Amino acid sequence: MKLEDYLELADRTGIVPFFWGDPGVGKTARIEQWAKAKGYHLERLVLSQHDPTEVAGIYVATDDGRRAERAIPAWLARVLEAAKQGRRAVVFFDELTTAAPTVQDTALGIFNERVVGDVPLPEGVILLAAANPPDRVDGLWELSAALANRFMHVEVRPDFQSWRAWAEEQGEAHRIVAHFLDAHPQHFHDFPTHAGELAWPSARTWDKFARALEEIRQGRLPEEATYLVGKGLVGKAAATAFVAWYQEYKAQNDIPPDEVLADPAGAAIPSRSDVLARLAETLVKRVAEALEEDRDDAPQLYARLIAYLRRVDAAGHRAVALATAQQITEAALENEVQDACARALGNEEVTFLESVSRIVLEARAA
């Protein structure tokens, strides 16, 4: 089961998962991503940064000083407001083992009774907890037996595919990093085994590196910063491997999409499958936009893309060629311009598309 499966279980049953995983493995990011996708309000409490009164509320004098009541803490006020608006909430107690026993005891009452001070949590609030394993981080407090018994304990391992899916939605620099990690998966998560290794690759540090890479790509940092920033975030080994890969990637990635669509018979074809896949994705977007806008040149652009894909197939990149041809042909069908597109095709392109259809049909039949 994936982390998201345990979150769904918590959503449906009220069971409280406790996620154990290395620093930077992506526990917090994936929980935030899941809550956002569900439309839930999220409150993350890093308990090492709070004392018991901040978690459960400070006592304040009422009734002219004759009584004391707990004030509603700020995080709970936001949860209550979300409930008023009809939104469910996720309350995520992070880094629980970094909290002193007094704070853990306060959290125990919330997990046990679903009450904060004197205020019950709204119906449907999802409780979660997380921490780093004790053999990975120094100076942690052990969970009391009573508190540990409240949870379903889940080990979270590095999940590159989940991170990759997230990275694809972030921007070009994140996608470039994801392509590098496709080729070098050993550099995705490499927890240091020697004292003194401060920078090391993880889901967290690759995200930060991708953000820095975008600054470099936009010219706001010099090109030589690629290695220096990488060394400071993901460590020397991963940074060295990335720089070597990136130089080759850029050399092959300098094929302008406009050049392909202007001269499909003469435009270069990247030899690297990851670079070719990115170029094909860009070409599909360009031509699909023209089809959607019903531009006069749309059928011709479609035919030129098919002509290029026929060459891509002949060059040995059949998977990319077939998938891209299928995508753009479906776009033509969706926009009801398939007849005009078909008339723009040459005989060789028609034969290529017929082979695409045959392969797709055979695959579906199998």
Residue range 289-341, pLDDT digits in tens = 999 998 999 999 999 999 999 999 999 998 899 999 989 988 888 888 888 88
Backbone torsions φ then ψ of 191, nearest 5 degrees? -65, 135
Report the number of distinct structural domains present in the chain: 3
* pLDDT band per the 50, 70, 90 thresholds, residue 235: very high
Residues 196 and 301 in one domain: no
CA 195, chain centre distance (Å): 30
The pLDDT of residue 86 is: 94
- pTM for the model: 0.66
Averaged confidence pLDDT in the chain:
86
Over residues 18-23, the mean pLDDT reads 90
Residue 170, SS3 per DSSP: coil
Lowest-confidence range among 127-141, 143-157, 275-289? 127-141
Domain end marker among 155, 182, 214: 155
Residues 19 and 149 in one domain: yes
- 127 shares a domain with 18: yes
- For residue range 265-290, list pLDDT tens digits in order: 999 888 777 788 888 988 999 999 99
Please state, in angstroms and rounded to a whole number, the distance separating the CA atoms of residues 110 and 171: 39
Residues 146 and 76 in one domain: yes
Could you tell me if 273 and 223 lie in one domain? no
> In this structure, are 94 and 188 located in the same domain?
no
pLDDT at 168: 85
Range of the domain at 175: 160-252
pLDDT of residue 338: 83
Question: So what's the pLDDT on residue 361?
Answer: 63
Task: Say how far apart CA 312 and CA 13 lie, in whole Å.
Answer: 51
197 and 246 both lie in a single domain: yes
121 lies in the same domain as 79: yes
Do residues 333 and 270 both lie within one domain? yes
Q: Enumerate residues 6+ apart whose C-beta is below 8 A from 28.
A: 44, 92, 94, 130
Q: Are residues 16 and 132 in the same domain?
A: yes
- Both 197 and 297 in one domain: the answer is no
Q: Taking a C-beta distance cutoff of 8 angstroms, is the pair 317, 271 a contact?
A: no
Q: Among 215, 235, 252, give the residue marking a domain's end.
A: 252
Last residue of a domain, one of 233, 252, 271: 252
Please tell me whether residue 97 adopts helix, strand or coil conformation.
helix
Where residue 151 sits, what CATH number does that domain have? Answer: 3.40.50.300
Is residue 256 classed as helix, strand or coil in its secondary structure?
Answer: coil
148 with 11, same domain: the answer is: yes
8 A C-beta contact, residue 234 and residue 225: no
Positive/negative CA dihedral, 197, 230, 249, 302: positive
**Residue that the structure tokens 């839930």 belong to:** 40
